[in-house]
Structures are given as structure tokens and as C-alpha cells.
Structure 1
Amino acid sequence: MKRFDTFPPLSLRLKLVLSYLIVALGAILILAIAVSLAIQNYFANSQRDQLRSEGEYRAQQIGHLYRAYGGDWRSVPLQLIQPGGPELLVIIDQNGDPLLQIQPGSLKLSDDEFPVLRQSLILALQGQENDGRLQGGGDDSSFSGLYVSEPLRYNGQSNGNMIGALFVAVPERFPQASVQLAFLSNVNQAILIAGAGVALAVIIFSLFLARRFTRPLESLTTAADQMRQGDYSRRADPPKSKDELERLAVTFNAMADTIESDVTELRHQEQLRRDLLANIAHDLATPLTAIQGYSEALADGVIAGEEARQETAQLIGREVQRLRRLVGDVQQMTSLDSGRARLELAPLDMQALVDETLEVIRPECEQAGIALRNEIDPQAAPVMADSDRITQVLFNLLDNARRHTPAGGNITISAQPMSEVLRVCVSDTGTGIDAADLPYIFERFYRVDRARTASAGGSGLGLSIVKAIITAHGGTVSAESSAAQGTCIYFSLPLAAQSEREKYVGKGATSNYAS
């Protein structure tokens, strides 16, 4: 025997159609049963009322006939009393003795129905009109149908003396009953035809409605499947229904936008990681190759003379320092990215800190013919920052500007308070950065021809470290550049709270970074 779960699953559209059809057919079936029962009840009540009226009329006529013949049953011509159709007719006198019994054709009372007949006549002799149904014996020859019993009174008056009782019954196979059954059959047939029409209309309507409901879901399913296969640009088509389906599609598309953005960012980060490893390997290989070459030359005695050997040793020392800077920058970036770097936050006078930093770098700039200017207002409010980290930011930015500003150029540091932050600008009059490169200059090891060549001494991590330090302080970093005016690097730092400023009064801005 096959299990039910071996059948193919039904689609949501088919489930909706079947559910609508079942509800409609159920409603039609209930309506048909209710109408059929109502009609049957109406016909039964109508037949009962008609039989009761006929019984009352016959009782009055028999009472008048009894009076007309002197009030003696023996003188009354009972043969004149005939039923109006195939009726069962029984008359008894006031003593309960039978006077007349007429049975319709071959139909006879079953033995089980005689007690019913007797009890009904007894109630009539007691002055109680009563009616009911004879069930019959279950075969075609037994009588079954409605009955009524009426008391017979002298002169047919309700206050006359009791003279007997009348029992009248109509069989179910009476022609009038056949007409009623035919009418009921026609009604049921009409309901069946109407039900078929309604079912067809329900199927058509439910198909239309199910398609309207399932089309957005199919769009969602297709979009989700495409995303599962790696196409994160796929979106669902939101229906213009202003309901849950539209909200679901809009929410799905918003989720897809987030996923696509996250995946794009992850791919970008993965590419950055690969580039980082490749750049580190390249930047390590260059000084190591130089050190190896110089060392082998010294060992093989290729370099003769004490002065030449001293110069080679200095070259090796510079390459080692270059390696140390690169390793230090990588370690610092790793520390900042992982959140392990601790910031010693305190109120910091940016004008004083910039003066200290410029004094350190001034000899190299003067030798290169570059002018340095500090345009920060001495009265500027202090910022809440780590002095050593901010000094490193200034050194990285100033060193980058120095190496790529020609002789006769200027490097200027200015600041402007904005709301709850101080916005600092380190600008130079160099050749500028191409617009295509500008969005990427803060990425690790990203180099442009102007400022990112290894031969110029940069590790490719300077601006990345600047961004990481400023971000750790809760600030932002941006850049503007043009070929005519040079480059300006902006960074913002939060201003110190008023309570911290009061503690700060009288303190200087010192840093251990340059020491």
C-alpha cells in the first residue's frame, strides 16, 4: 500500500485553489441541506394544516348529519360519508364502538399502528384534537402518513355534546405528496446546477487570486535562489498591493542590499589582505636583497678599502632601519585593527603639539627649501586625545607632505572648531593626487606615483595608520587634492569636556613620540 507522502507536494497556488473550492462547496452543501430541510418542513406543516382543516370540516358535517337524523347513529346513512381521496377514515361513537372504517385501496394498517389509532381516538373522545404520523410496517402494503383525530359533537358545534370521534389519515404516496417530492427534487437539482456554476466561478476567481498572491512569492523565491547561487545583485519585484507581501518584498530587497554590501566589503577586504601580504613580501624582499648583496660583497672582499666598507656598512644599516620601520608599521596597524592599542586620553593643546612636531622636522624641511607654518589659534580649545598617537599622526602627514613638496613650497597646519570637534588640516603645495586615486589613499600599501613609491622611503602604511589612530579617537579623516593647489589632509578630534578643560589649565602639551 502506497504511503500518502509519496505523492508530489502541492504548490501554494493549488493549495489556495483547493481551499477556496472546498470552502465554497461546503457552503453550497450546507445551503442545499438547509433549503431542502426548510422545504420539507414547509410541506409537512402545510400538509398537516390542510389535513387538520379537512378533519374539522368533516367533523362539523358529520355533527350536522347526526342532528338531521334525530340524533341516532343507527338512523344516520354513514354510506354517504366518502373520503375525498385515498384516505384512511375511521368513525367511532361516544362509547368507542366503531361505526365506519374505510382504507385506501390495498393499503392497510400494520399491527404496530393500531395502538396509535386507538390512543388518538381516545384523546379525541376526551375532546382533544391531536395529530401525528403513522410510520407503517416498512413494506409497500402498509399505511404510512399523517393523521388527525377530531371530536364529533352534536350539531357540529364546539359546545355540543360529545357523540363520537373521527380519525383521518393521508398516505405519503398521495398524489399531492408526489408533487411535493417532485418540487423538492427540482429545487435540489437547481441548487446542484447553481452550485456547479458557483464552483466554476470560485475556481476561476481563486486561480486569479492565487496567481496574484503567489507571483510576489515566486519572485522572492527566484531572487533568493539566485542569491544562493552567488548573484547578490538579484532583487524581488515588490507588488503594488500595500500589504504584507509588499512589505515582505521591500524588506527582502533591503536585506539583499545589506548582504550585497557586506559581501562586496568582504571581497574587498579579502583582496586587501592578499595585497597586504604581497606588498609586505615585496617590501621585505627589496631591503633583504640589498642587505644580502652588500653582505656577500663584504664577505667576498669585493669591496676594497676602509672607506668603501664603511659606506657599505652604512647602506646595510639604512636598509635594516627601513625593515624595522616597516615591521613597526605593520605591528602598529595590527594592534590598532585588533583594538589592543590603548589610548591615554587627556586634554591636548593642538597648537603647542604642532609647534613641537614642526621643530623636529624643521631642519629637514629647511634643507629641502620648504617653509612650515602653524596657523592654529593659540586660544583654540583643547582636544581629548592621546598625545603620542596624535604626534605620530602629525609626523606621518608632515613627512608625507615633505617628501612630495618641491623646493619653494609650503606646508601649513590649520584648525577650525566645528560643533564638538576640532578639524585639523595639513596642507601642502605639491603636485596633488589624481582624482581616481584620492578615494584609496588611506588603504594599506596603496601607492600613487606622487606619494607612494617605495624608493621615496614610504612603507605604504603611513596614511592607513593615520586613519586607524583618528578612527580610534572617534574622529574622521578625509582628503582634498588638486594639481594646481596641492593636497590637504583633514582629520577631526573630539573637543575636551568643560570639566577636563579646567583640569588642563596650566599644563603643557608634551609628547614622548619624538624623543
Structure 2
Amino acid sequence: MTSPQRARFGTRLFLGTTLVVLVCLVTATLVAVVIAPGMFHEHLHQAGISGDDGLTDHIEMAFRGTLLRAWAPAAAAAVVVAIVLSWWVARRVERAVGELSTSTGRIAAGRYETRVDASGLGREFAELADAVNELARRLNETETTRRRMVADLGHEMRTPIATIESHLEAVEDGVRAADADTIGVLRTGTQRLRRLAEDLSAVSRVQEGIVQEGIDRIRPEPTGARCLVDAAVAVATPSYDAAGVALAATGDDIPLTVDPARVGQVLGNLFDNARRHTPPGGTVTVTTTHRGPDVVFTVADTGCGIAAEHLSHVFDRFYRADDARTRRDGGSGIGLTIVRVLVEAHGGSVTASSAGPGAGAVFTVTLPAAGPASAEPSDRPANLDS
């Protein structure tokens, strides 16, 4: 026999409502059989109808008979309707809860394509179904990103590890000497692995440190937009010269309050991304403008451009619009994620636009000139490599 703790929800709901109906029936019976005749007798006495001729008894008997004949069918009909309605409601609720339980179980088992249909039981159930569906959608996106991340990490690590192993085996077998060239190859492989580890650590610190703890790691101070741009350009110029890409800066030195190191990291990541996607002979231009209370940094390149279907994903972690090229140039797919998190931590926004493949791309960073409203200085380390 099923224990009360393990009884189905619909059964328990039906039994509960049936119990309420039965209690109401017992109460009504007590009123009709015990209380009502006494009250009727008192009214007769007050009206002066009393005596030993049996008239009072006859009237009271007639009242009881009439009351019972009128009350019994009404009570029976009410009980039947109440029980049937309770059974119907319990079945609908049980079915809706059962479907919700089954769907959440499938989602918990990893079937994130599962969706819950609205049961028609009211706004609360509809909102619950929407919440479960949104949870499944986000879990599906997270799982997709995780799988892509694992695949990317495997691909990123395979090449330098294979290079290091092959050269070490060659040195051990005497095929290669441990000269400067061999050491240089080994160092390049280890540096690539170190850069990947630093990128993973950086984006985790940015997202988990800044997002979860607020913006207390942002240390704003008064500075100028052009000053920040010129500093970032000076750092990026050697790599641009080596790649044969021109880097130009225009715009005024608009005053603003930001964390110079963080905004410098944002510009550096955007410059690095633009350089890697711009062929030799191309140009990358950074412009600073004033738009209401905000300062806008625009980084435009004449590179390979971005297809429309990729624009909404370029700031996702490990997302690559061009896997082959990005891997060849050493990108890990994390730099733009760090850009988005740092900009949002300043209370700003970043967007990407492109007319399509071959038409270049434009990245626009918008920051409030007054800085983050609730930012407070912090003495904790702020070194995040991109």
C-alpha cells in the first residue's frame, strides 16, 4: 500500500478536497437534524403555538420531514458536483506537475532540448514553464560552449606538445643537438602553452572576480581618452610594424574617469584582434568621440570582416569566426571575452559590426565619462593578462 508520503500529488489533492466536502456535509447534517428543529420549536413557542393537543408536535414533525426532503437531494447534488470537480482539478494539476517533473528530469539528465508546455492552469504555472524552458536553453548554450572549449583546448595543446615531444626525442636519439635553434623551438612551444594557461586564468579571474564581487577591482581615476589610446598604440606599434599593418589614432583627449590599466587592456585586446585579422598593407584606426555623457572608442580595420551570423557571438568565450586563421595566428578566442567583461564592469558596452566578409570590422566601446557609479578603489592585484 502506498504510504501518505509517497502518494501521488493528484491523489492527495483529491483526498484533501473530498475530506473538506465531507466535513461540510457533516456540519450541514448537524445543523439540519439537531440545531434547526430546536430553533423552529423556540419560534413556535414565541408565536404562542403551544399546548398538549399535539398541534405543536405535528407542526414540528412536518418541518423536519420537509427540511430533510429538501435538504437531502441538495446536499447529495452538492457533494457529487464538489467531488467530481475536485477530481477533475486534481487530475489536471497532477498531469501538469507530472509533465513538469518529467521534463526537469530529462533536463537534469542532459537532454537540454526538452521544453515544458504551458498547462493552462494559470499565470503561475505558465511562468514556471517559461522559467524551466529558459533554464534549459541556457544550459544548452553552456554545454555547447563547454564542448567547443574542450575541443579548442585539445587542439591548442596538441600542436605545442607534439612539437616539444618530437624535439626532445630527437635530442635524446642524437638526431638533433641541444643547440640554440632546438632550445628556441622548445621555448616557443612552452610559451604557447603558458599563454593559453594565462588566458584561461585571466578570463576566469575577470568573470568570477569582477562579475561576482562587483566592480571593487576596478580602480578608476581621472584621465584622458587620447592619453589612453596613445599609450595603447605605443605598446602595439612593434607588432603592427612586424605584421605590415598601419595603426592610426584620431580624436580629442576627452576627460573621463576609468581604470587606466583595464581600459588599456581593452584597447590592447582590440588592437591585437584587429591586427590578426588585417592583412599586410591594411590599416587599423582608433577614434575617440564624445556622445552625451559617454566617451566612445571606435576600432575599425580593413581586414577580413565578420559574417552576419557570427556578429552576436564574437564576444563569447572561445568563439572563433575563423578557426584556421585564429589558431595559426595564436589567438585563443578569449581576448574579446575579456574586453566585454571589463567594459561592462565600467558600466559601459561594446559592440561589433561589419558589412560582411572582406569588408573589415568595427568594434565600438562606450564608457561613461564619469566612471562606474559605485566603483571604489581596491588594493588587490589587478594584473590580468589577455
TM-score bucket (shorter structure): 0.7 to 0.9
Q: Once the two structures are superposed, what CA deviation does each residue of 1:204-232 show, in whole Å capped at 9, x if it has no partner? A: 44346646865764465335433553467
1:493-504 → structure 2 map (5 Å cutoff):
493-496=367-370
Give structure 1 stretches of 5+ with no counterpart: 49-171, 240-248, 498-511
Call closer, same or farther: CA 1:187–1:444 in 2, change over 3 Å. closer
Which deviates more from structure 2 when the two are superposed, residues 257-266 or residues 472-481?
Answer: 257-266
1:202 and 2:72 aligned? no
C-alpha change, 1:47 and 1:403, in structure 2 (3 Å) is closer
**Corresponding residue of 2:209:** 339
Would you tell me which structure has more helix in proportion to its own residues? 2
Query: Per the alignment, do residues 47 and 15 of structure 1 end up closer, same or farther by CA in structure 2, a change over 3 Å counting?
Result: closer
Gaps of 5+ in 2: 108-113, 211-215, 372-382
Residue 193 of structure 1: how far off its partner (Å):
0.7
**1:233 CA drift (Å):** 3.1
Decide which of 169, 172, 182 is 1:296's aligned counterpart.
169
Among 189, 207, 232, the residue aligned to 1:319: 189
How far is the alpha carbon of 1:251 from its aligned partner?
3.3
AA partner of residue 233 (structure 1) = R
Q: Does 1:403 align with 2:284?
A: no
Which structure has the bigger radius of gyration?
1
Q: Equivalent residue for 2:247? A: 372
What do residues 380-427 of structure 1 show as CA deviations (whole Å, max 9, x unaligned)?
232412x22322222221122112112343212123434543232212
**Matched-pair contact (CA < 8 Å) for 1:32–1:191:** no
CA contact (8 A) 2:249 2:287 kept: yes
Residues 22-421 of structure 1 mapped to structure 2, 5 A cutoff: 22-29=26-33, 32-34=36-38, 36-38=40-42, 41=45, 45-46=48-49, 48=51, 172=52, 176-177=53-54, 181-207=57-83, 210=86, 214=90, 217-218=93-94, 221-230=97-106, 233-239=115-121, 249-262=122-135, 264-266=137-139, 268-269=141-142, 272-273=145-146, 275-303=148-176, 310-339=180-209, 342-366=217-241, 368-378=243-253, 380-385=254-259, 387-421=260-294
Alignment RMSD: 3.9
State the partner residue of 1:242.
Answer: none
User: Cα 1:315–1:229, aligned 2, differ >3 Å: closer, same or farther?
Assistant: closer
The residue matched to 1:251 in structure 2 has which SS? Answer: helix
Cα distance, 1:461 vs. partner? 1.9
SS of corresponding position for 2:288: strand
SS at match of 2:248: strand
Q: Give the structure-2-normalised TM-score.
A: 0.75
Q: 1:277 to 1:182 in 2, by over 3 A?
A: same
Structure 1 residues 225, 318: CA separation in 2 closer, same or farther (over 3 Å shift)?
closer
Asked if 1:14 corresponds to 2:18, the answer is: yes
CA contact (8 A) 2:222 2:255 kept: no
Shift of the 422–256 alpha-carbon distance from structure 1 to 2, 3 Å rule, reads farther
Note the C-alpha offset of 1:290.
0.7
SS at match of 1:415: strand
Aligned residues: 355
| 2:374 alignment partner in structure 1 | none
Instruction: Report whether the alignment pairs 1:492 with 2:381.
Output: no
CA deviation profile, 1:473-494 (whole Å, cap 9, x unmatched): 3333322222253222222333
Calculate the TM-score normalised by the size of structure 1: 0.58
Q: Deviations over 1:89-109 (max 9, x none)?
A: xxxxxxxxxxxxxxxxxxxxx
Q: Which residue of 1 aligns with 2:378?
A: none
Q: 1:452 to 1:26 in 2, by over 3 A?
A: farther
Structure 2 partner of 1:246: none
- For the residue of structure 1 that corresponds to 2:67, the secondary structure is helix
